């Protein structure tokens, strides 16, 4: 590895999503100093054994989900797990389901708590601090104060463009905006803007993500498009006879900016 990056990169993400391949690549190159995340399964630790026991009682689905929170390519001693924020979110979601209340704020709270704990308890000197959208504001402040380069993983289009598309599509289809927003929604959106203001570079999975960031003032030379990969050995076309009609299955959030009416 390059001397300036050897054991000098910290990656922080409250969720799993596409963060694990990035951590695996950094570990393989010798760059990874620390991976900070929420729930991470370490079978030999006391917490890992406790989580395994809880998941086993909850059923096969929970066991499978827990086992996915681990990468055999990353040494356990390189991973710092902070389960509290995600357990807090899960508890709020379960309580809200019983009481019939809006629990979307739980995700905002999870990100806020995780970010605060990373910044105040787990920040160390590093050359690069790689954070993810929604959970990097406090961390970026600490990292920049220590002289680190900040990198933001930006998985969605710029919020300003997103809101414009939402307004235009609602007007086009005659659908009014929701009467009420989740609690803490405005602070959540403001957090995204502040993270962008504190990042030196940004990664996006699509060229359109970069386009929207540039059109809203982020320097083009500081945004890098890194397409998300897929295991082509796990997915392949299957032979089947012709059939009438054409059906599409969509799995994702029900938003106008996803182009669902089309």
Mind giving me the DSSP string for 234-260? T---------SS------S---GGGTT
Mean model confidence pLDDT for the chain: 91
- Read off the pLDDT band of 1 (50, 70, 90): low
Contact 31, 8 (CB under 8 A): yes
Query: What's the pLDDT tens digit per position in 162-190?
Result: 999 999 999 999 999 888 888 888 888 89
Give the per-residue pLDDT at 181: 83
**Residue 252 dihedral angles phi and psi, to the nearest 5°:** 170, 180
CA-CA distance, 139 to 12, in Å (whole number)? 9
Give the per-residue pLDDT at 151: 98
CA-CA distance, 83 to 147, in Å (whole number)? 28
* pLDDT at residue 89 tops 80: yes
Query: What's the pLDDT tens digit per position in 105-124?
Result: 899 999 999 999 999 999 99
* pLDDT at residue 228 tops 60: yes
Mode of pairing for the β-strands spanning 149-153 and 79-81:
unpaired
pTM exceeds 0.85 for this model:
yes
Residue of 195, 147, 153 lying closest to 8 (CA atoms)? 147
Q: Which sign, positive or negative, has the C-alpha torsion 159, 22, 17, 70?
A: negative
Average confidence (pLDDT) over 202-212: 95
- C-beta atoms surrounding 204 within 10 Å: 24
Give the per-residue pLDDT at 10: 98
CA-CA distance, 75 to 44, in Å (whole number)? 12
What torsion do the CA atoms of 76, 226, 4, 136 make, to the nearest 10 degrees? Answer: -60
Structure tokens at 178: 């929701």
The contacts found for 181-188 with CB under 8 angstroms, 24 or more apart, are 182/102, 182/104, 182/105, 182/108, 183/102, 183/105, 184/105, 184/108, 184/109, 185/104, 185/105, 185/108, 187/108, 188/108, 188/111, 188/134
Least confidently predicted of 78-82, 164-168, 250-254: 250-254
Q: Is 18 exposed, middle or buried (0-12, 13-18, 19+ CB in 10 A)?
A: middle
Helix (H) or strand (E) holding 212: helix 207-215
Phi-psi category of residue 259: left, alpha or beta, with phi > 0 → left and psi -120 to 50 → alpha: left
**Residue 248 dihedral angles phi and psi, to the nearest 5°:** -125, 135
Query: What's the pLDDT tens digit per position in 5-16?
Result: 999 999 999 998
């Amino acid at each position: 590895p390059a001397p300036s990056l050897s054991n000098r990169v910290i990656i922080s993400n409250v969720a799993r999503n596409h963060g694990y391949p990035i951590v695996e690549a950094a570990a393989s190159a010798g760059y990874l100093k620390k991976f900070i995340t929420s729930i991470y399964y370490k079978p030999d630790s006391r917490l890992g054994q406790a989580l395994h026991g809880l998941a086993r009682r909850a059923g096969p689905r929970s066991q499978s989900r827990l086992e996915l929170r681990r990468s055999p390519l990353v040494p356990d001693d390189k991973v710092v797990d902070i389960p509290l924020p995600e357990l807090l979110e899960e508890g709020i979601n379960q309580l809200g389901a019983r009481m019939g209340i809006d629990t979307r704020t739980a995700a905002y709270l999870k990100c806020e708590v995780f970010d605060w704990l990373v910044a105040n308890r787990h920040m160390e000197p590093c050359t690069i601090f790689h954070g993810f959208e929604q959970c990097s504001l406090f961390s970026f402040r600490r990292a920049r104060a220590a002289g680190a380069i900040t990198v933001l993983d930006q998985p969605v289009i710029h919020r300003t463009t997103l809101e414009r598309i939402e307004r235009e599509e609602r007007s086009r289809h005659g659908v009014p905006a929701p009467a009420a927003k989740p609690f803490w929604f405005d602070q959540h959106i403001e957090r995204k803007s502040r993270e962008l203001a504190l990042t030196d570079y940004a990664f996006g999975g699509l060229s359109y993500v970069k386009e929207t960031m540039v059109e809203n003032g982020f320097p083009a030379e500081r945004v890098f498009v890194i397409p998300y990969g897929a295991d082509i050995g796990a997915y392949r076309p299957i032979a089947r006879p012709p059939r009438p009609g054409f059906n599409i299955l969509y799995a994702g959030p029900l938003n106008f900016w996803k182009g669902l009416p089309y």
